Each structure stands twice: as C-alpha cells, then as structure tokens.
Amino acid sequence: MKKNSLVFLVSAILLLSACLKKQEPIAEPDPLIQFAKDTLIIKKYLADSIPAKRLDQTGVYYQIIKPGTGTVKPEAKSEIKIKVNGRLLSGKVFTNPKDTLKNILGNQISGVQFGLPLIRKGGRIRLILASYYAFGPLGNYGQTVPPNAVVDLDINLIDIK
C-alpha cells in the first residue's frame, strides 16, 4: 500500500512538473519610449483641437481656462475639492463631471499634481497627460482607462484647505 502511494505521489509530481511551462519574464515597457509615443499623439491632438501651453520641465500640456481667485494655490499636502471631466483622446468619458472629489493633492496622479498648482480656488484647467503622468502601463482600477492611454482632463478647483 505504501509502495503504491509513493509511486502515485512521484508520478503526480512528475506529471505536474512536466505540465508547467517555464515562463519567460515579462519585459517591462520602456517608459521613455512610451512617453515619446504619447508626446507625438498629444501634439497631433493639440494641433487638431485646442491651443495649449507646455510645462517645460515635465512635459505636461495644459490650458488655463479660468485662473481662479485669491492668493492660495494648492500644494502637495492641500486637501482639494474638484470636479473632473476626464476623457480619452477618442472622446470616451471615464469620469462623471457631476461628481465632486475630495482628496489630498499629493495623492492624485502626477499630472494633476503638476497642473493644479497653476490655478487658484474657483479656477479651471485642462490637462492633456501622457500615460506616464496619468495611469501608466496598468491603466486604472476599473479599466475605464486602458494601459498607456493619453488622457484629457478638464478640472474645476472648487476648494482648497
């Protein structure tokens, strides 16, 4: 009985190990190559649709629609209240612009962290973000934004604390 169990166990292990394929490591996409691709896509999009300026240091394209009022600009530690109309360059909307979002600016995607300090309370800014500054190679959690997608965000800054 013990001999049969041992033979069965060894056979099962050999069968399982033969079935397992040695997987090649998944190559990480080069963020610089993706950023260059995104930049070309953004330039074409901007030429066809909106005037925008560029933050020289980061590569974030933006258009200040309304600068806002007051002297306070959001910082990384600021609690912000915003409304966002987010869409892909295809026009597909992935956020509900009626929803008000509250969060710490430093917890937002990096493109929003770079762009929002350009306006004040009551201001509105449009950010066209390469995937590197948006949701990257993974997309977002609900998969409403696919991997490596360039996004167009229209953000109203309602409040800063």
Listing DSSP states for 4-30 in one string gives HHHHHHHHHHHHHHHHSPPPPPPPPP-
Answer whether 74's CB lies under 8 Å from 125's CB. no
Answer whether 134's CB lies under 8 Å from 151's CB. yes
- In this prediction, residue 49 has a pLDDT band, given cuts at 50, 70 and 90, of confident
Rounded Cα distance, 1 and 79, in Å = 69
Residue 12 pLDDT exceeds 50: no
Tokens 């969060």 belong to 103
Please give the model's pTM, rounded to 2 decimal places: 0.76
Fold of 30-160: Chitinase A; domain 3 (3.10.50)
Q: Could you report the per-residue pLDDT of 57-100, keeping only the tens digit for each?
A: 788 899 999 999 989 999 999 999 999 999 999 999 999 889 99
Poorest-pLDDT segment among 16-25, 29-38, 99-108, 117-126: 16-25
For residues 104-130, give the mean pLDDT.
Answer: 95
Residue 143 pLDDT exceeds 70: yes
Q: What percent of the chain has pLDDT over 70?
A: 78
Answer whether 137's CB lies under 8 Å from 111's CB. no
